[in-house]
Structure 1
Amino acid sequence: MAAWKSRTRSLQVFDTELSADTVEWCPVSSDHNILVCGTYQLQKGVKVDSTPSRTGRLYLFQFCREGPMTPPLTELQHMDTAAILDLKWCHVPVSERPLLGLAAATGDLQLYTLKDTQEGGRRLHTLSSAAVGADRLVLSLDWSTGRLDGSDIRAVCSDSAGCISVVSLEEGAVTIQSQWKAHDFEAWISAFSYWDTQVIYTGGDDCKLKGWDLRMGPSCPTFTSKQHAMGVCSIHSSPHREHLLATGSYDEHVLLWDGRNMRQPLSDSALGGGVWRLKWHPTQEHLLLAACMHNDFHILHCQQALEGSSESCPIVASYILHNSLAYGADWSRLCLDDPAPCSPLPSAHEPKLPLPESGVHLRIQYESPTASFDTSLEDDMGRYIPDNIEPPIPNPTVTPEHPCPDTDSMSCLIASCSFYDHMLHVWRWDWTPNTDQC
């Protein structure tokens, strides 16, 4: 079995000004170079008893590699919005245009369509919205189109009241088909089974992972799992393998499941940080991207775990150049044709920024993008002071001889964002055979 080199390299860093918590590349083939980033900012009131307000900003970018000295990311547009908790592109075009869903702190599901401008650029335009509920935050959303099926386009979203809403889309209008109380506390996450879109998975702050079959109605879940020890905040159905599901939790574990048997997970991987987002690679079925809040961003290789030869998934790459809570992450479908660089790249385990000298005042932050009691420590400069957690050690030598079919190497483009330092990073991951020559 051949050993492989796993390298990450930062391509560009963008200051979003407000706290960044969600980022998404466009999955529609004509617009794979389009990226959006959402922000969430708590504006605390002047008076002690005043209600804080939450504001946000939606950024639209275009990625283009013109030369080694040219920043690849260009801002096309930004607009002030309600605080944004989640962003998801519909996987197929609607009315021949890309469609973006936005989960807002005002309790609304907002839809935007991407259009050409007269100047030849691209711009988001408001299409429609639906009020999920008053006095609640929409925390997540997912489209039913994960396997590029546009025959029945629906969205599911979860909210801070513990409710789940399923909405349909017809001629640009959003209609709530069903809504029910699913969790005792915040319902952090909701997701379709991409193979049977009548099946929905949800996770909440009550530490429960649940399944629902829309054909049976929402009166009773098809299963309830308590395998996670803390709140379940990430779920992603595999678009490549039927019945495969990945879940993440504040308990710092990623579990892989076979949807036909939810009594026991297929694998259990400890990542040393609350797992806020999980994303399967759009074309490589064994690669899973994890945003781990207090412990950076990691790429897991899941092949051996799915084959039953490993109890956990090895980490093949880590990106640690953020200096705050790791929240948003997504794979791009763009192909990076240029070869991996021969110059030395940053180590996957370089230390973060130096900690402040003793005596510097520490600020405790309790406000997460979802208004939860998620504690982080920062100095007065806003730099995250990590817990004493040893990061997992990537082990590329356990990966298959050919990670990408019919190729000898692979390169991936990834975007990630972090909260209190309000930073968006675009970076690449190169996986090449470990030879003496680059």
Structure 2
Amino acid sequence: MGWQSRTRTLQVFDTELSADTVEWCPLPQWSHVLACGTYQLQKGDDKQTAEDSTAPSRIGRLYLFDCNPQPSFIPPLTETQRIDTPAVLDLKWCHVPISERPLLGMATASGEIQLYKLMESQQGTCVLECELSTELGPDRLALSLDWSTGRGESSDVRVVCSDSSGSLTALSLGEASLTAVCQWKAHDFEAWISAFSYWDTQIVYSGGDDCKLKGWDLRMGPSSPSFTSKRHTMGVCSIHSNPHREHILATGSYDENLLLWDGRNMKQPLSETAVGGGVWRLKWHPSQEHLLLAACMHNDFHILHCQKAMEGQDAPCPVLASYILHNSLAYGADWSRLPLSNSTPPSPQEPPQTSVGLTESGGHLRIQYESPTGSFDTSLEDDSGRYIPDQCSLPEKSSIPDPFTSPARDSQSLSCLMATCSFYDHMMHVWRWDWSPEEQQKPSEPAPSS
């Protein structure tokens, strides 16, 4: 059975400063909450002294949004808060509530890990309040962080982070403290990424600009890595442990390759997929163990299906859909856990997006600004500038092979909400992906006349 794959832009938001990280809250009660972080290198002041000019100013802003993706409410995002901060390099929500509230971790250019608690304001909206912070050390940028709670385990909550000095820091979260348990030199240059194994949270992975992927067993101490891989040929900048399938690890690099690994054998990857751009972020789907979202810097955002690779068939992961409407470096990407109806919402937005299994042509994307909110929507026009309504029939669709091997899953449809952001154009997009079986014509029905 063939499958249809379709992506649709729901809203675009101008973050003003360069956007590099975006995260949906993973907790069911707060899954409508979205956070976005920005990073801006300030140009030097002409009046600065030579000494001052050696320390560029990096500023940022943390945005908080409320999302209502129901078809009757367009656009779906409402900005509820913005906080000026040091430049933001990474954001991650804790996967479990802390003191019954969501907790957001932020890695900043000031070398701090800051934790924000999500609260309800007097107006009934959600707002963030700074709860805790800790400095990693002088003269360094915090580049990434990850929580040990990826599989929903709430005991012994810890954070691991990486920084521009090549160091990793493991931190323990107490009732009123975020305390460094250990810090060690892990890479020769920038340690771009750090991540827990969600199945054994004493295991930490890291990737650096020295082109090395390393593993660390915190029980053995950080004096030497449990493995070092040089399989990537450029800096390793993304790692994500699969929360649904034990031992499965995804890594990405500036070398434009996505590698899947079995953590029990780090000498050789399970598969290698060329994605055409540096792989800055990787995110496994919240519930579908085979689906992986990749932010590919110079080559947009892609959803890959990893089933065959995970089964050891040594095959590249096919791309099920691509989102190509950003005009700059594809950096931040995340899946939402908000439930969506399988039916496509009746909205005028119809971006001329192409993805595997669906080709849409004959239209031009028109940006419809909504000043002064900084957000805007999109619609489709033909060559003469006439609006193309959503109900119009689309060009003929080609089928993509059914990636599932289980017949019981052939009839399942999937609708997902995503947020992505890009750097120099300072844009955040919210979009949906619908994936459904190709409708088969019943044998009893006559073929349509041409």
**d(CA) in 1 for partners of 2:411, 2:99:** 36
Question: Which residue pairs with 1:36 in the alignment?
Answer: 35
In the other structure, the counterpart of 1:318 is: 322
What residue in structure 1 maps to residue 187 of structure 2? 183
CA RMSD of aligned residues (A): 2.2
- Provide the rounded CA distance (Å) in 2 between the counterparts of 1:144 and 1:201: 12
Residue number in structure 2 paired with 1:346: 352
- State yes or no: 1:275 paired with 2:274: no
* 1:410 alignment counterpart: 414
Pairing 1:72–2:76 present: yes
Residue in structure 2 matched with residue 100 of structure 1 by the alignment: 104
Q: Distance in 2 between matches of 1:402 and 1:33?
A: 32
Does the aligned pair in 2 maintain the 1:315–1:395 contact within 8 Å? no
Residue type of the alignment partner of 1:301: H
Q: How far did residue 203 of structure 1 move?
A: 0.2
Structure 2 gaps of 5+ residues are 366-397, 442-450
**Which residue identity lines up with residue 412 of structure 2 in the other structure?**
D
Bigger radius of gyration: 2
For the 8 Å contact 2:195–2:241, the answer to whether it is kept is yes
Output one character per residue of 1:130-174: Cα deviation in whole Å (capped at 9) or x when no partner: 000111000000000000000110000000000000000101311
Distance 1:143 1:395 in 2: 39
Seen in structure 2, the aligned counterparts of structure 1 residues 76 and 340 have a Cα distance that, compared at 3 Å, is same
1:37–1:404 CA distance, 2 compared to 1 (3 A): farther
On the 8 A contact 1:315/1:396 being kept in 2, the answer is no
Pick from 190, 197, 209: which aligns with 1:193?
A: 197
Paired with 1:338 and 1:4, the residues of 2 have a C-alpha distance of 14
Mapped contact 2:404–2:410 kept (Cα < 8 A): no
Matched, 1:157 2:156: no
Structure 1's 165 and 293: CA in aligned 2 closer, same or farther, altered over 3 A?
same
Return the TM-score normalized by structure 2.
Answer: 0.84
| Mapped contact 1:284–1:404 kept (Cα < 8 A) | no
1:292 to 290, 296, 304: 296
Tell me the SS of whatever aligns to 1:234.
strand
Aligned residues with identical type, % of pairs: 66
SS at match of 1:96: coil
Residue 12 of structure 1: aligned partner: 11
1:328 aligned to which of 327, 332, 336: 332
Contact preservation (8 Å) 1:292, 1:327:
yes
Is 1:207 aligned to 2:206, yes or no? no
* Conserved? CA contact 1:57–1:79, under 8 Å: yes
CA deviation map 1:30-81 (0-9, x unaligned): 1000000000000021349413200000000010135446210000100100
SS at structure 1 position matched to 2:17: coil
Q: Which of 56, 59, 65 is 1:61 aligned to?
A: 65
User: For residue 388 of structure 2, what is the aligned residue in structure 1?
Assistant: none
The answer for the alignment partner of 1:130 in structure 2 is 134
- Return 5+ residue gaps in structure 1 as ranges: 355-393
Cα distance in structure 1, aligned partners of 2:233 and 2:408? 34
Provide the secondary structure at the position in 2 that maps to 1:396.
coil
Instruction: Find the aligned partners of 1:66 and 1:399 in 2 and give their Cα distance.
Output: 29
- The range that moved more, 69-78 or 397-406, is 397-406
Q: Which moved more, 1:115-124 or 1:151-160?
A: 115-124
Alpha-carbon distance in structure 2 between the residues aligned to 1:227 and 1:338: 40
Query: What letter is aligned with 1:119?
Result: Q
Deviations 1:299-345 (A, max 9, x none): 00000111233521000000000000000000001110251358976
From the superposition, tell whether residues 293 and 122 of structure 1 become closer, same or farther in structure 2 (CA, over 3 Å). same
Q: Could you tell me which residue of structure 2 aligns to residue 248 of structure 1? A: 252
Aligned partner (choices 293, 309, 312) of residue 308 of structure 1: 312
For residues 299 and 17 of structure 2, what CA distance do their matches in structure 1 show?
21
How far apart, in 1, do the equivalents of 2:407 and 2:188 lie?
42
Change (3 A) 1:395 1:298: farther
CA shift digits 1:158-192 (9 cap, x unpaired): 00000000000101311000000000000000000
Q: Deviations over 1:250-308 (max 9, x none)?
A: 00000000000000000000000000000000100000000000000000000011123
Partner of 2:58, secondary structure, is strand
C-alpha separation in 2, matches of 1:202 and 1:289: 19
Which amino acid letter does the alignment assign opposite residue 29 of structure 2?
S
Contact 1:3 1:401 survives alignment (8 Å) = no
What residue identity is the alignment partner of 2:236?
A: V
Q: Does 1:233 align with 2:237?
A: yes
- The 3 A distance-change label for structure 1 pair 64 and 341 is closer
Q: Any conservation in 2 of the 1:64–1:72 contact (CA below 8 Å)?
A: yes
2:404 alignment partner, one of 360, 379, 400: 400
Equivalent-residue separation in structure 2 for 1:409 and 1:192 (angstroms): 31
Query: Could you tell me which residue of structure 2 aligns to residue 169 of structure 1?
Result: 173
* Equivalent in 213, 221, 225 of residue 225 of structure 2: 221
1:196-216, Cα deviation, whole Å (9 max, x unpaired): 000000000000000000000
Closer, same or farther: CA 264–404 of 1 in aligned 2, 3 Å? farther
Q: CA offset at residue 347 of structure 1? A: 3.0
Shift of 1:435: 1.8
Question: How big is the shift at 1:399?
Answer: 1.6
Deviations 1:390-422 (A, max 9, x none): xxxx98325226699596211000000000000
Report the residue type matching 2:138 in the other structure: A
Aligned equivalents of 2:123 and 2:272: distance in 1?
50
Kindly tell me the number of residue pairs found equivalent between the two proteins.
Answer: 397
Structure 1 CA distance, aligned partners of 2:345 and 2:70? 16
Does the C-alpha gap of structure 1 residues 193 and 124 become closer, same or farther in structure 2, counting only changes over 3 Å? same
Which residue does the alignment assign to 1:384?
none
Partner of 2:401: helix, strand, or coil? helix
Specify the code of the residue in structure 1 equivalent to 2:9: S
